[in-house]
Structure 1
Amino acid sequence: MPITRRLTLIALAAALAGCATTATMPSTATVGAYRESIDLSGRLSVNYLKDGARESLNGNFNWAQRPDRTDVTLNSPLGQTIATIAVTPGEATLTQSGRAPRSAADIDGLTQQTLGWTLPVAGLRDWLQGYAVDEQGRRFAASPANNSVSTKDGWRLRFMSWQDDKAPQPMPRVINAERSAVGDIQDLQIRIVIDPAA
């Protein structure tokens, strides 16, 4: 796998995990469907422009989220582990295959140290459950009838399909996220496909 694509996959995994340190957690009293502990797996694809060239990559992920920790494993399409991420309130650790772990106080800083730019998908801890914070800072709960939002940190989200679209607060199955620019990356497009619950 070319080094640029490998590093981008690692950055994406870091961004996925990074949500634990930056996301505003909803109150269970006001958002009854939100779960602070979830285990998910799925696939993701990334497309972007860098230095005028279109790049794309694909991978698989496993996501384990607890109130005080998020763990992400990112695998190549053939199943090799590319990176593991562990995020707690005070520390983020990124371990690339065959390399020593690197740690920082937050995942955005760790991504910056590792790759030279930050991919701040800070809301993904919410997105995977169909929630976001909109441009005005209001809580957004996605549904089949209300499936798109622009977030406070500049992402355009579209919840494309659902695990069970008849549930009171359905869990997403496919999420498209876009952003015009992130550092020297332009036209960033991320598609997340969440596997059905076992």
Structure 2
Amino acid sequence: MTTPSFIRPLLLAVALSAAVAGCATTGPRSTAVVAPYSDKTELTGRLTINFSRDGKKESMTGKYDWQQDKDNVNVSLTSPLGQMIAVIKVTPHSATLTQGDKAPPQTAPTVDALTQKALGWTLPVSGLRYWLQGYATDSDGKPFTASPANDTVITRDGWKLEYVDWQDEKAAVPRPKLIYATRIALGQAVDDMNIRIFIDAPDQ
């Protein structure tokens, strides 16, 4: 049956209205990038680390207190009940790790090697210094800046970063809220090593 000519403009208007409404409800994610990188910052939050040791899968969940300035990084890791897991201090020349009262502090030239040896898993502090603020260097050596619309990168030192959630992705300068970091080699996860990092909101 042929649609009467006077109905056609009405149907067209309804179709266009529906299309516009659909675009309004499923519009593109914000392309705003994170705030400029700051050498000096303090962050708190929670993390879960999944790793393999001696062929067995293990995990660790806890809280962290992160402080950094231009030259140094201090990280305190505690259990969900507030028990100290480790204190890590990094300077331009060395890294020191203290595990409560169990043993004397351990020192090494790099913090990644130190945490792997002492804890059984790698906390990539040298990378996290930038990752926590939404910055990294990609596998081609190019700078990467995260945004809700550009949220995944493989770094030059072999980690896949996924910026899964944001404090407010519609903000003018959105801040990361949840980051997945997975150890990568030749495109494949190795050692079952992945870290989930939840960052508290700035006012917490």
**TM-score normalised to the size of structure 2?**
0.72
The superposition leaves residues 78-129 of structure 1 with CA deviations (integer Å, 9 ceiling, x where unpaired) of 0111111111111211111102112223323433553577554531111000
CA gap of 1:82–1:116, structure 2 versus 1, over 3 A, is closer
CA contact (8 A) 2:51 2:121 kept: no
Cα RMSD after superposing both structures: 2.3
Q: Is the partner of 1:122 in helix, strand or coil?
A: helix
The whole-number CA distance in structure 2 between the counterparts of 1:168 and 1:156 is 26
The whole-number CA distance in structure 2 between the counterparts of 1:65 and 1:43 is 17
The whole-number CA distance in structure 1 between the counterparts of 2:195 and 2:121 is 17
CA contact (8 A) 1:180 1:186 kept: no
Q: Which runs of 5+ in 1 are unaligned?
A: 1-30
CA gap of 1:114–1:55, structure 2 versus 1, over 3 A, is closer
Q: Aligned letter for 2:191?
A: Q
CA contact (8 A) 2:160 2:184 kept: no
Find out whether 1:142 has 2:146 as its counterpart.
Answer: yes
Q: Which runs of 5+ in 2 are unaligned?
A: 1-33
Find out whether 1:129 has 2:133 as its counterpart.
Answer: yes
Find out whether 1:192 has 2:179 as its counterpart.
Answer: no
CA contact (8 A) 1:180 1:187 kept: no
The superposition leaves residues 19-65 of structure 1 with CA deviations (integer Å, 9 ceiling, x where unpaired) of xxxxxxxxxxxx97111111001100012334443222201100001
Of structures 1 and 2, the larger Rg is shown by: 2
**TM-score normalised to the size of structure 1?**
0.74
Aligned with 2:88 (options 53, 66, 85): 85
CA contact (8 A) 1:176 1:189 kept: yes
Q: Is the partner of 2:141 in helix, strand or coil?
A: coil
Match in the other structure for 1:57: 60
* Number of residue equivalences: 165
The whole-number CA distance in structure 2 between the counterparts of 1:163 and 1:95 is 32
The whole-number CA distance in structure 2 between the counterparts of 1:115 and 1:56 is 11
The whole-number CA distance in structure 2 between the counterparts of 1:132 and 1:82 is 27
Aligned ranges 1:6-17 → 2 under 5 Å: none
Match in the other structure for 1:8: none
The whole-number CA distance in structure 1 between the counterparts of 2:163 and 2:142 is 17
